[in-house]
Amino acid sequence: MLTAEGVSKAFGGVRALSDVDFRVAPGEIHALVGENGAGKSTLIRILSGATAPDTGSVHLDSVAIPAGNPAATRRLGVSSVHQEFTLVPALSVADNIFLGRERGWLLRRREMNARVREVLAELGLQISTASLVQDLSVAQQQLVEIARALVDDARVLILDEPTAALADPEIERLFIVLRRLSAQGLAIVYISHRLEEIFSIANRITILRDGRTVGSWPANAVTRADLIRHMVGRTLSEEYPPRTTAPGRTILELDRVGAPPRFMDASLRVGAGEIVGLAGLVGAGRTSLGLAIVGALRSSGTVRLNGVPVRFDSPSAAIRAGLAYVTEDRKRLGLFAQMDTAANITVTFLRAFARHGWLLSSMERLAAEAAVHDYDVRGAGLHQPAANLSGGNQQKLILARYLLKPRSVIVLDEPTRGVDVGARAEIYRIINRLTDEGLGVLMISSDLNEILGMSDRVVVMRNGRTVGELPRCDASAERVMTLATGTAA
């Protein structure tokens, strides 16, 4: 149905795609995979009409895609959901879904709301059509983005990392919808770094590496190891490096901490050199707990750091005490996108590089260079804007920022969201190295494999409360989900 032939594209002399072929058939869920920088985003922008290729062509059936005109491409029947949200926070759910789809001078609100309720019901999303997007969780916003694409009579649906903000039950609901849509003849292009999802949902897999097509296979004809080898050009023998550090004394302890209505009652502890995984469904209160620990939310209960009760009135106070929080939304809340790499690394500790109120750029640069080396932040140099780094390097940059000075504990919220399999392995090795040095890590993740693969202990939240704790030797997907959902084992 949708065909790209001989597509090439360069930006400022840097070649993003070289002679790429790609095809998706009616009723097919076709996965497009590759490391960050492999060319996936450029290809889907070309497929959706947002970017014109330098050479090659894209057709929907026999009709050429109008390059550089995504609205016209959408009207032809190609709808896209990009990795970065395109919602308007101050508008309602219904207004966001129909934005750009208005007809005439007067909005037919009753018809709009009825159609929106229908699509939201398909996705299992129980929110009011009048809710403001800015009041929704990240997971709910992701589903609203998908609803925007489904509200059109699309023939091809392109999804770029659609489950990055979703937990397992939300993912399974989405997959049920996608399978139903494909059974009705919709062609779906599915991009994800989560390989288990690829094998669960895709009929066919195409791999890009360095802007070129490596190959295309039926999903049942390749293994996970095959995919990794083709994606990175090497074998990653251990996606989750072995944990060798024995947890030490307790350095962070929470006793009945709450911040209603976000979460009510959470108790846990983190030891020196230990990774504690915090699992639970979307809405369980995991992120809110992380924010409360570092003073970004006013909370009740007791927080002890190195045995001493503490109560932070701001994240900066927590940082001074030796705690830090790495946000789940690095693009919106973590990065200063237009500032360069060096400034992004040193911005939290500028006083350390100042004398008498003047910033000493030479000291700042030396510290940034050392951090880039220590955390393997790869890019064009210290002056490269953070926005131009890959997702994995952006994440390593933020780690480098908060660990520029010694920490006792770091809260990592979705540490590998939107990060490719090669960069994931690098981040995991960094985390293990830090725990070897005595850092305590509270890792919040919706990726159950990540929780099980990296954690020394797993704490589970449900409905705003911690409801169980599992040591590594007893933790399994079934036991975690039993606690997270409250169902009988």
Mean pLDDT on 172-182: 86
Per-residue pLDDT reduced to its tens digit, 356-401:
889 888 898 999 999 999 998 988 889 899 988 888 889 999 999 9
Average pLDDT for the chain = 88
How far apart are alpha carbons 296 and 180 in whole angstroms? 41
| Non-local CB neighbours of 295 within 8 Å, separated by 6+ positions | 311, 312, 313, 314, 315, 317, 318
Q: Which residue has the tokens 């966001």?
A: 96
* Domain 2-232 architecture: 3-Layer(aba) Sandwich (3.40)
Q: What is the b/e burial string over 450-474, where b = at least 16 CB atoms within 10 angstroms of the residue's CB?
A: bbbbbbbbbbbbbebbbbebbeeee
Q: Where are the alpha helices (DSSP H) in 328-413?
A: 341-346, 361-374, 391-402
How far apart are alpha carbons 265 and 299 in whole angstroms? 10
Please give the C-alpha separations between residue 30 and each of 17, 47, 269, in angstroms, as whole numbers.
19, 13, 43
pTM confidence score: 0.68
C-beta contacts of 5-14 below 8 A and 24+ residues apart: 5/56, 5/57, 5/58, 6/55, 6/56, 6/57, 7/43, 7/46, 7/53, 7/55, 7/56, 7/57, 7/58, 8/53, 8/54, 8/55, 8/56, 9/42, 9/46, 9/51, 9/53, 9/54, 10/54
Torsional class of 464: left (φ above 0), alpha (ψ -120 to 50), beta (otherwise): left
Give the start-to-end residue ranges of the domains of the chain: 2-232, 250-485
Q: Is residue 255 scored above 90 in pLDDT? A: yes
Q: Is residue 236 scored above 60 in pLDDT? A: no
Please give the C-alpha separations between residue 110 and each of 28, 42, 439, in angstroms, as whole numbers.
34, 38, 55
Predicted confidence band at 223 (pLDDT cuts at 50, 70, 90)?
Answer: confident
Q: Which CATH class is domain 250-485?
A: alpha beta
Question: Cβ distance 433 to 406 under 8 Å?
Answer: no
Q: Do the domains 250-485 and 2-232 match in fold?
A: yes
3-state secondary structure of 212: strand
How far apart are alpha carbons 355 and 35 in whole angstroms? 42
- Which residue would you say has higher pLDDT here, 302 or 151? 302
Mean pLDDT on 155-171: 82
